[in-house]
Amino acid sequence: MTSHQGALARRLGTFDAVAIGLGSMMGAGIFAAFAPAAVSAGAGLLIGLAIAGIVAYCNATASAQLAAQYPTSGGTYVYGRERLGEWPGFFAGWSFVIGKTASAAAMAITFAAYAAPSGWEKPVGVLAVLAVGAVNYVGVTRTAGATKVLAGVVLVVLAFVVVLGLTTGHPRSGALTEGLLEHGWYGILQAAALLFFAFAGYARIATMGEEVREPQRTIPRAVLIALAIVLVVYAAVALTTLLVIGPERLASSIAPLSDVVTAGGSFWASPIVRVGAAAATLGSLLSITAGIGRTTLAMARHEDLPRWLSAVHDRYRVPHRAEMLLAVVVCVLVLTTDLRGALGFSSFGVLLYYFVANAAAFTQTPDHRRYPKALQILGALGCVALAGSLPPPSIAAGLIVLAVGIGYRLVRQRLRTDGAGPRA
């Protein structure tokens, strides 16, 4: 049975929200994005990481400030509608859905790369998507519980990589400055855009505004706590990776964190890292798909997507039709795309989403303001700069899919207008 306008249940506390944010961020990014970033910037990826972190912080403050005022499902789709109008809201929501759908595909592809036997990556990736879809279908509290376990496993494994790499991997301090600016600022910005993929999961907390207890207090706190933890972890892992294997080897590595632990001869540790990578990507896939479902729910409630996607299951209190459709689309992407394409396309969509978030937060009145307007200006400019520095194919694909969404909404509005007109 279904309820089309049912409310979601408020079951999550601060610890649950932080765990979901950590699970969303510490997934494919930490295990997959460093190597492409090294290709773009070499050791300059450290500067790129700092830039991505600054933009992420600005975006996080905007999201937290908005979520405190509008504690409902939908994230920046809702904020954009409320603060800027229907079209900016749609632009944000559609950018989020397409960007995060590509992100979910990247998670599944990376999971399979670490967990599947050679030649079985595609089927295993599809099975992972279907399994995660089943968990999300039966309720958000189960999603939160599973994500907490996976996030804990990942933190332990990453700490293991850092300690083992620094103690046995013969780190070289000179690796941090070798060719630091060799690739120029364009390469550094491109690295930052690719690394931003690894930070974007904190929006997952804001999209769950309708399911969090005391959202005005819980959401801002959880967003900033999760981002702070991830910044520290990413910096430690990036420094360790560059010190132990250097920028050139990192750029050509398929599994860089595995290479870090084996650099000093600890080959026994590689399976542990692979298990951690699989857990990380599975946790991110779990949280991200749930977030897409909630944004889809909000858009369907306003008829920016088909109305039937607004159904909420009477028993499990989740947007089950949106979850099922998402699983089908992600499975198709896993079977037809590669990791690099999914990463670039995802970053493009999510950066546009946060551009709207910063613009919406900029318009908030003093009684709802928690952070200076300068952070929203910096965040908006950072989103534009990073999106524009992505590889041209990613930008082109993103613009095409955005145009498809805009075309759908224009047609929908035209049909609605014609249907409301006078009859002969």
For the record, the structure tokens of 147 come out as: 């994500």
Average pLDDT over residues 248-261: 86
Q: Supply the range of the domain harboring residue 230.
A: 8-414
Smallest CA-to-CA distance from 249 within 184, 351, 305, 165 is with 165
Q: Assess whether pLDDT exceeds 80 at residue 149.
A: no
Residue 134 lies in a domain: yes
Residue 250 lies in a domain: yes
- More reliable by pLDDT, 420 or 402: 402
Residue 423 lies in a domain: no
Residue 3 lies in a domain: no
Residue 422 lies in a domain: no
- Amino acid of residue 188: I
Q: How far apart are CA 203 and CA 198, in angstroms?
A: 12
Cβ-in-10-Å burial (0-12, 13-18, 19+) of 256 comes to buried
Residue 366 lies in a domain: yes
Q: Longest C-alpha distance within the chain, in Å?
A: 83
Please give the pLDDT value at position 30. Answer: 80
Residue 253 lies in a domain: yes
Q: How far is CA 334 from the centre of its chain?
A: 17
Confidence of residue 239 (pLDDT cuts 50, 70, 90): very high
Please give the pLDDT value at position 5. Answer: 47
Average pLDDT over residues 92-97: 88
Smallest CA-to-CA distance from 301 within 149, 111, 89 is with 89
Q: How far apart are CA 380 and CA 84, in angstroms?
A: 15
Average pLDDT over residues 272-281: 84
Confidence of residue 35 (pLDDT cuts 50, 70, 90): confident
Assess contact for 212 and 218: CB atoms under 8 A: yes
Q: How far apart are CA 162 and CA 235, in angstroms?
A: 11
Cβ-in-10-Å burial (0-12, 13-18, 19+) of 180 comes to middle
Q: How far apart are CA 363 and CA 356, in angstroms?
A: 11
Give residue-wise pLDDT tens across range 62-74.
Answer: 988 888 788 776 6
Q: Look over the chain and give the mean of its residue pLDDT values, rounded to a whole number.
A: 83
- More reliable by pLDDT, 176 or 24: 176
Q: How many domains does the chain divide into? A: 1
Q: How far apart are CA 104 and CA 124, in angstroms?
A: 14
Smallest CA-to-CA distance from 89 within 75, 74, 72, 77 is with 77
Please give the pLDDT value at position 52. Answer: 94
Residue 221 lies in a domain: yes
Distances (CA, A) of 306 to 8, 317, 325, 414: 19, 19, 12, 15
CA quadruple 246, 252, 253, 259: dihedral sign: negative
Average pLDDT over residues 216-244: 87
CA 24-325-312 angle, 5° bins: 85
Please give the pLDDT value at position 388. Answer: 94
| HEC profile of the chain | CEECCCCCCCCECHHHHHHHHHHHHCCHHHHHHHHHHHHHHHHHHHHHHHHHHHHHHHHHHHHHHHHHHCCCECCHHHHHHHHCCHHHHHHHHHHHHHHHHHHHHHHHHHHHHHHCCCCCHHHHHHHHHHHHHHHHHCCHHHHHHHHHHHHHHHHHHHHHHHHHHHHHCCCCHHHHCCCCCCCHHHHHHHHHHHHHCCCHHHHHHHCECCCECCHHHHHHHHHHHHHHHHHHHHHHHHHHHHHHHHHHHHHHCCCHHHHHHHCCCCHHHHHHHHHHHHHHHHHHHHHHHHHHHHHHHHHHHCCCCCHHHHCEECCCCCCHHHHHHHHHHHHHHHHHCCHHHHHHHHHHHHHHHHHHHHHHHHCCCHHHCCCCHHHHHHHHHHHHHHHHCCCHHHHHHHHHHHHHHHHHHHHHHHHHHHHHCCCC
Assess contact for 180 and 42: CB atoms under 8 A: yes
Please give the pLDDT value at position 245. Answer: 92
Q: How far apart are CA 295 and CA 353, in angstroms?
A: 12
- CATH code of 130's domain: 1.20.1740.10
Q: How far apart are CA 59 and CA 66, in angstroms?
A: 11
CA 185-191-192 angle, 5° bins: 90
